[in-house]
Amino acid sequence: MRYDFNTDREFDIIAIGRACIDLNAVEYNRPMEETMTFTKYVGGSPANIAIGCSKLGLKAGFIGKISDDQHGRFIEQYMRNVGVDTSHMVVDQEGHKTGLAFTEIKSPEDCSILMYRENVADLYLKPSEVDEEYIKRSKILLVSGTALSKSPSREAVLKAISLAKKHDVKVIFELDYRPYTWISTDETSVYYSLVAEKADVVIGTRDEYDIMEGTKDGKNEETVRYLFQHSPDLIIIKHGVEGSYAYAKSGETFQANAYRTKVLKTFGAGDAYASAFLYALITGKDIETALKYGSASAAIVVSRHSSSDAMPKAEEIEQLIAERS
Ligand SMILES: Nc1ncnc2c1ncn2[C@@H]1O[C@H](COP(=O)(O)OP(=O)(O)O)[C@@H](O)[C@H]1O
Ligand SMILES: O=C(O)C[C@@H](O)[C@H](O)C(=O)COP(=O)(O)O
């Protein structure tokens, strides 16, 4: 089964949300307190997804706000150099800063992220900075859940979603739950449900759907039954190394296993998965194959040091799938 997009659009995907910096521990297998050196990469889930899509050959654009300093300029330059259209990245004029994510690699299975996100520029994107003419040029609007956590970014994203729906741009909602940005899980649940009900495709981990539904140990079948009463016609639920599922409104279900690999760290998996899954869908592959692309890309990225810079080329993904099939 394939998923249809508007074919007459210049951009394959425009992502909206944060473009930040990851500082990844150079010394592995030790706690942050003992880590002395970090390597700098562009980060932020929607930026990583746009970068991943661009490296796979899609035409990707980005809507977001960056700081007016060296970090903001580094992010814009890196994204432009990998082919992402940065013409709608707005430079903050109010002194807000770039978000930082320090990653801790205690062991391949025990990784965490320490985020510094006080007064971050990305959450100050205003509705007036979202351009209808830009959004209507794309097949997809990729929305990151974290961008809903505060005003005015929240309203900017809601405006972008309305414009996407007006112009038949598919809304892909990546739940991307980062607890530190929200006041409470009740607040998250309100905004996640609101946007998931409007989206065409929802992508998230089982835990993230539980946050959306305000539940614990939720069941995929119940999540799907709820969301199919609304706009979504395709729902992706990831279960980490246990693999992932796609549920289509037509009633079909697809499953993919994770690919075993030599894991360096666990973060970056979700963003790699989303970019390769969307690449496969946009290039006309069936949903089952798209799940494999997502899983293979995630396996490649967890074996490498970064999330953004590590995003693979299509040939690398295809080679891994061929080797394991
Ligand atoms: N340790 C791992 N080794 C190989 N693949 C993995 C590993 N962890 C996750 N993946 C792959 O990445 C996908 C997304 O991972 P998951 O942990 O569910 O998302 P997120 O990174 O968003 O929390 C999984 O469906 C799986 O295919
Ligand atoms: O999203 C962020 O702000 C941090 C990311 O850049 C970081 O690389 C990361 O956590 C990615 O993890 P994922 O969500 O598991 O793909």
Residue 106 is part of a domain; what is its CATH number?
3.40.1190.20
Q: Is residue 7 part of a domain?
A: no
Q: Is residue 5 part of a domain?
A: no
Closest atom of ligand 1 relative to the 294 alpha carbon:
27
Q: Is residue 111 part of a domain?
A: yes
| Enclosing H/E stretch for 317 | helix 314-324
Closest atom of ligand 1 relative to the 295 alpha carbon:
27
Considering every ligand atom shown, identify the ligand nearest to the alpha carbon of residue 180 and give its number: 2
- The tens digit of pLDDT for each residue in 188-202 reads 999 999 999 999 999
Domain count, the chain: 1
- The tens digit of pLDDT for each residue in 66-108 reads 999 999 999 999 999 999 999 999 999 999 999 999 999 898 8
Q: Is residue 8 part of a domain?
A: no
Q: Is residue 240 part of a domain?
A: yes
Neighbours of 320 (CB within 10 A): 20
> Ligand 1: which residues within 6 Å by Cβ?
205, 238, 240-241, 243-244, 258-259, 261, 263, 266, 269-270, 273, 295, 298-299, 302
Q: Is residue 3 part of a domain?
A: no
Angle 206-213/185-198 helices, nearest 10 degrees? 100
Give the ipTM of the model, two decimals please. Answer: 0.97
**Domain boundaries, position 212:** 15-324
- The tens digit of pLDDT for each residue in 273-310 reads 999 999 999 999 999 999 999 999 999 999 999 999 99
Q: Is residue 257 part of a domain?
A: yes
Token couple for 152 = 């005015």
Distances (CA, A) of 313 to 67, 111, 131, 284: 30, 25, 30, 17
Q: Is residue 4 part of a domain?
A: no
Q: Is the CB of 50 under 6 A from ligand 2?
A: no
Q: Which of 42, 52, 44 is nearest to 13 (CA)?
A: 52
Look at the block and give the residue holding tokens 């035409």. Answer: 59
d(CA 287, CA 245): 10
| Distance between Cα 51 and ligand 2 center (Å) | 13
- Could you tell which of 208, 273, 302 is best to mutate to test the pocket of ligand 1, judged by most ligand atoms within 8 Å of the CB? 273
Considering every ligand atom shown, identify the ligand nearest to the alpha carbon of residue 109 and give its number: 1
Give buried/exposed letters for 221-256 (b at 16+ CB in 10 A, else e): eebbebbbeebbbbbbbbeeeeebbbbbeeeeebeb
Low-confidence ranges of the chain (pLDDT < 50): none
Long-range contacts of 183-187 (CB under 8 A, 24+ apart): 185/211, 185/214, 186/214, 187/149
Kindly report the protein residue whose alpha carbon is nearest to atom 4 of ligand 2: 44
Kindly report the protein residue whose alpha carbon is nearest to atom 26 of ligand 1: 258
